[in-house]
Amino acid sequence: MITARLGLRARLYLASAAILMLFAFNVGTHLWGSYARSESVMAYRIATEGTALVRGIQQGLATEYQRVQVLAALRETNAPIRIAQREQANAELSEISDQLRALGGLSDIETEAAFRDFYKFASTLLDEWVRFYRDYNDNSVPSRLDARLYGDATDSLQALADQQNSVALERSTIIDNTIQLTDRITIIGFVSSITITLILILTLIRTTNASLFRLRVGVERFGAGDLTHRIDENRDSGEIANLAQTFNEMSASLQRAMADLTDARAEAEAANETKSMFLANVSHELRTPLNAIIGYSEMLQDELSDGETLDRDQFHHDLTTIIFSGRQLLTLINDILDLSKIETGKMSVSYEPVNVAGLVVQVCDALSPLLAQNKNQLELDVVGAQNATMRSDAAKIQQILTNLFSNACKFTKNGVIKVTAHIDDAALRLSVQDNGIGMTEEQQSKVFQAFVQADSNTSVNYGGTGLGLAIVSSFCDMLGGSVTLSSAPGEGSRFEVSLPVVQE
């Protein structure tokens, strides 16, 4: 056989070329059939639109004809027509004219002559009715209505509709025949492709089996774990020799891969340790507000059961603590749920008008208790976004600002938190800056990763789960923007968010 005298590469090329040619033939027939189907749909749509326009024009002409006949009889009694009636009639005649033009747009070479005949009668009839309404109240102008025009117009319209339907039916028949032909060709080509492909594959296997037999022993040795075994490359030539050399190189690569696997296992254990640390942090963060809620609730219950006079200030303080702890707990749960939605792709974006300055002020006002915890001061600058409204997701912008503001308050004591917002070049720029503990470059590289905090002592000293900034980064990506960080140890941090906007 010819294939037996070919090299392995030449055999593969020959088989691949044959399969690709068969595949291209099938794709071509499929595209041909798809084009025919699209033409059939287009012809059906044009026929449907033409039928609807014909019905609309017939109904409009019939209605207007009856009205003109009634008004012509009333004119004999000198009954005038109101301006509103005349304007309404002119509007309806104009609508019929628009339908005529639309029907003309659906005409082609085969129906153009019929459309011109109809259009001649219809336009003359419409002009006659326009003059009738215009001169209706002028008794000095006699009424000139040609009864034959309406009949001629409707007859020519029906002739045009019949011809359009005939042409559409003829084209549909041709296209349907083409579709049937392409379907038959596709089926024949598919069956032939399978048959020829099987023949090529069997021939290729048969002619290369002997050449690959010696390689099987080496592969079995590799599969058994003997990575020190090497195949004798000198017993074959060409592609087989190259393949033997490749197997030998693969064996050496696998030896190196085993060492890399050990390193990867160590990294996986480190990742598992990070997840365990995250779970421990979450457990701690959940227990802290829960203990406060339960403890203060029990204290309030005891005070109420004592029957003594309540200390309203203390009672109010305890309730405030419960509410604050509840909000902390809710924030943590929301962060976990949001991150879960982001990772599963179920987080959606809802665009709506947003008052930028008002939103920033609202968030800062709601989080003002966080400032008092560490005796921080707030500098707020929203002049650059004053009276500016944009379309974006208000809830996500609010959470971005909330997370950045909360972090700034948490890592700053007796300092200043500066929040600015302005719009330029069709972009919203939000900035949260503090003069707190700051971060090193290594810490900055990890701060936007989920479940990871700046260092292992952060959770112990300041609390938190490491989700806030990961959610900020994800939300910025979802809104088509970005977040950048500049920081230095002991000098504070500055987070700047840039979001594209559409001005209202």
Is 175 a member of any domain?
Answer: yes
Is 77 a member of any domain?
Answer: yes
Residue 362 is part of which domain span?
A: 348-500
Same domain (yes/no): 76, 191: yes
Is 9 a member of any domain?
Answer: yes
Same domain (yes/no): 57, 183: yes
Q: What CATH number has the domain bearing residue 149?
A: 1.20.120
Is 205 a member of any domain?
Answer: no
Q: What CATH number has the domain bearing residue 444?
A: 3.30.565.10
Q: What is the pLDDT of residues 451-496, one digit of tens each?
A: 666 555 555 455 556 677 888 888 889 888 999 999 889 888 999 9
Is 253 a member of any domain?
Answer: no
Residue with the larger pLDDT of the pair 226 and 386: 386
Residue with the larger pLDDT of the pair 118 and 210: 118
Buried b (16+ CB within 10 A) or exposed e, 213-243: eebeebeebbeeeebebbbebeebeebbeeb
Q: Report the 3 state secondary structure along 304-357.
A: HHHCCCCCHHHHHHHHHHHHHHHHHHHHHHHHHHHHHHHHHCCCCCCCEEEEHH
**CB atoms near residue 396 (< 10 Å):** 21
pTM of the model: 0.43
Q: Decide: 412 and 376 in contact? Cβ < 8 Å.
A: yes
In sign, the C-alpha dihedral spanning 11, 242, 261, 228 is positive
Same domain (yes/no): 321, 418: no
pLDDT score of 2: 47
Q: pLDDT band at residue 190, thresholds of 50, 70 and 90? A: confident
Same domain (yes/no): 370, 265: no
Place of tokens 């001061």: 377
Query: Domain boundary at 316, 347, 378, which?
Result: 347
Q: Between helices 147-223 and 8-75, what is the axis angle to 10°?
A: 160
pLDDT score of 433: 92
Query: Domain boundary at 154, 170, 198, which?
Result: 198
Q: Decide: 57 and 104 in contact? Cβ < 8 Å.
A: no
Is 317 a member of any domain?
Answer: yes
Q: What is the pLDDT of residues 288-346, one digit of tens each?
A: 667 768 877 877 777 777 766 667 777 777 777 787 677 667 766 776 776 677 777 77
Same domain (yes/no): 381, 474: yes
pLDDT score of 113: 81
Query: Domain boundary at 321, 347, 373, which?
Result: 347
Percent of the chain with pLDDT over 70: 78
Q: What CATH number has the domain bearing residue 263?
A: 1.10.287.130
